[in-house]
Amino acid sequence: MAERTFVMIKPDGVQRGLIGEIIKRLERVGLKPVAMKFIRMSREQAEKLYAVHKGKPFYESLIEYVTSGPVVVSVREGPKAIEIVRKIIGATDPAKAAPGTIRGDFALDISHNVIHASDSKESFEYEHKIFFSEDEIVKRERIDEKRLI
What positions carry a catalytic annotation? 116
Can you tell me the distance from the alpha carbon of 120 to that of 132, in angstroms, rounded to the nearest whole number? 18
Kindly indicate which of the ranges 25-33, 107-115, 124-132, 137-145 contains the residues binding ligand CMP, using the contact rule CB under 6 A.
107-115
> Closer to ligand CMP at the Cβ: 4 or 116?
116
Nearest distance, CB of residue 67 and ligand CMP, angstroms: 13
Residue 15 in the binding site for ligand CMP (CB under 6 A): no
Does 58 interact with ligand CMP (rule: CB under 6 A)?
yes
The 3-class secondary structure across 62-121, one letter per residue, is: HHHHHCCCCEEEEEEECCCHHHHHHHHHCCCCCCCCCCCCHHHHHCCCCCCCCEEECCCH
Size of interface with ligand CMP, in residues (CB under 6 A): 8
Residue type, 30: G
Does residue 38 interact with ligand CMP by CB under 6 A?
no
113 binds ligand CMP (CB under 6 A): yes
How far apart CA 115 and CA 22 sit, in angstroms, is 9
Distance (Å, whole) CA 147 – CA 83? 25
Residues that bind ligand CMP (CB under 6 A): 53, 58, 62, 92, 110-111, 113, 116
